[in-house]
Chain A
Amino acid sequence: MGAGGSLFSEKKEYLAYPALGLISFLLFLGLLPYLGFLLGGIPFFAALMVISGERRPLWIAFFSIVIPVTLFFLFREGFLILLPQGEILD
């Protein structure tokens, strides 16, 4: 299991991408209690898409809205798992 050690066998300048990913993850988690899963998830999704090399604005806008919203309502309505809405919305 695990992807097995390739992360650190690479040249240092490549590490910028994973580092950016980690930073945006950390930001998302920090803001999660305030923004909630939906409001926080959309910019986080968009950020990760950009870091993964996606540059088409329409694609980014479409998927970063559709997937978090689908997940949020799928888990809430389908599986009765209440994801945090965020203090802003309360």
Chain B
Amino acid sequence: MNPDIFQGMIQATHPTGLIATAFGSLLGLTVGMIPGMTISAGIIIVLPLTFVLEPAISISLLLGLYAGGMMGGSFSAILLNIPGTPSASATAMDGHPMARRGEAGRALGTAIIASFTGGLFSFICLYFIAPSLAELALQFRAPDLFGLVFFGLTIICSFATKSIIKGLLSGLIGLIIVTIGQDPIMGNPRFTFGDPDLLSGIHFLTAMIGLFAIPQLMDNLLEIVKRKTSYRAESGFGNILPTLTDLKSIRLPTAIGAFIGTFIGILPGAGGPIAAFISYDYAKKSCKNADSFGKGAVEGIAAPEAANNAVTGGALIPMMTLGIPGDPITAILIGALLVHGLAPGPLLFMEQGDFAYTIIFSFFWANIFTLIVALSSLRLLVKVLATPKSILMPTIALLCVIGSYALRNSFFDVYIMFFFGLLGISMQWLQIPVVPLLLALVLGKQLEEHLRVSLTASKGDFTVFFTSPFSLFFLCLSVVSILWPFISARRKKITAAAVN
């Protein structure tokens, strides 16, 4: 057996790491549950900490938050009919009718068990798939890596929104922003306008804080007009441990959710919400009691909940082996690793195999702790929903400032953060998705590096991208991912015409 696996297992089970994971799970469950605060808000809270903590510990913390946040969203979906995170939207369809029937405990218990199972399944996939995928990816040379990163970007642009043009536009803005600073090959300053602050470019964590937190803050201030300053949920919801009959009936939908969730997690771009809805539909088609779906069926809670937690482990696979994040949270994980000089990618398994396995086993603990924290302190957690937004929102605002300042101890970054906040608000107004922009910021440098290294090696000959089989494969996939929205729209038109 690979000695790195043991090393990783031991490092992930280190007491400090376990405490960090448990704290992350608790925080994730809390922010996931509060409507108007997503997992990104939780990440902003702990981001400054990840700069000073050891990499293994900060990763444990972030993974706990990721797993906890995915589960936490379902609590408010069930109790209040308001999904705490977008990924829990599908859970509300059956969860809330059940709670209104007075079976909130049963719904919550089902959600917890299904989430845990989905997460654990995705851990197993991560454990077995990631090392072999990394081994395959080791054979990639510069042109192949360019093709891969290019594909990662295009599929995110096309998945992120209904309008592919807006998705591509967002990705393009990100790529333009990435060119600010020293170029990755020669170190020539570009678009710095002589300002030394711009020499090192715009750090994407700074941009991320602004893009996600500031529009969220403004959304929350708007909610206040409607006098929804806090939520009160019944905390007397009876026994949350599911009965044996319930466990039996959620076996199939949980398995469906776990499979679909992991698979969708592996695909870059599509995340929790999509996985949850697809699994819900699929479970509805394959379960005997399809009629009770939407009226409060345990199966209708289990499928989307298993799916959105399975997405987490799935999304870690391309992040760790290829360095391609599938969603904003894995993008932030990459950022947290890069701050410590660790670059996720195929080389991570080769050069720092023990650390790669530390991440994998930390993810295992993240799921375990999320289950423990959720089962043991659910009643207490639900009380957090009553915390007034008038205290939460200013605290998040201050943490945005701390997070962006602490990265490089500069006021300049704080202003950049705010600039990206305004950009995020404008993009929301124009209905342009921000996720492609964020991922372009993460991947842009790599894309340019691989492109220029390949072209230098081939003396400027572009055919290198088409002669290498891997590169050609990825470029073809990119073309398909861009054309796909048009193809599927056309196909729908044709079938509609045929029906008429």
Q: How many residues of B contact A (CB 8 A)?
A: 55
Nearest-CB residue, chain B, relative to A47: B394
List of B residues within 8 angstroms of A82 by Cβ = 409
| A15 CB-CB contact with B under 8 Å | yes
Which residue of B has the minimal Cβ distance to A40? B401
Contact A3 B219, CB 8 Å, known A17-B225, A54-B390, A79-B52:
yes
Q: In angstroms, how far is the closest chain A Cβ from the Cβ of B219?
A: 4
Asked whether any CB of chain A lies closer than 8 Å to the CB of B227, the reply is yes
Count of A-B contacts judged by CB separation below 8 Å: 138
Contacts A2-B215, A3-B215 given: A25-B393 contact, CB under 8 Å? Answer: no
Interface SS of A by simple majority: helix
Q: Whole-angstrom distance from the CB of B65 to the nearest CB of chain A?
A: 13
**Given A7-B215, A18-B221, A45-B394, A37 contacting B227 (CB threshold 8 A):** no
On chain A, the number of residues with a Cβ less than 8 Å from chain B's Cβ atoms is 44
Instruction: Give every chain A residue within 8 A of B435 (Cβ-Cβ).
Output: 1
Interface residues of A in 1-60 (CB under 8 A from B): 1-8, 10, 14-15, 17-18, 20-22, 25-26, 28-29, 32-33, 37, 41, 44-45, 48-49, 51-54
B391 (CB) vs chain A CBs: closest residue: A63
Assess whether A21 is in contact with B218, with CB atoms less than 8 Å apart.
yes
Contact A44 B434 (CB under 8 A): no
State the Cβ distance, A33 to closest chain B Cβ, in Å.
6
Given the known A-B contacts A53-B229, A71-B402, A75-B406, are A2 and B48 also in contact in the complex, defined by CB atoms under 8 Å? Answer: no
Which residues of chain B have C-beta atoms less than 8 A from A54's C-beta? 388, 390-391
Cross-chain pairs A/B with CB under 8 angstroms, 17 sampled: A1-B40, A1-B86, A2-B428, A3-B216, A7-B425, A18-B218, A18-B222, A25-B214, A25-B418, A32-B401, A37-B401, A44-B397, A44-B398, A48-B397, A64-B394, A67-B395, A71-B399
The 5 closest A-B pairs by CB, nearest first: A52-B390, A48-B394, A54-B390, A18-B218, A3-B219
With contacts A1-B329, A18-B218, A83-B402 known, what are 11 further pairs, Cβ within 8 A? A3-B220, A8-B428, A17-B221, A22-B218, A49-B390, A52-B220, A52-B389, A54-B388, A54-B390, A75-B406, A84-B405
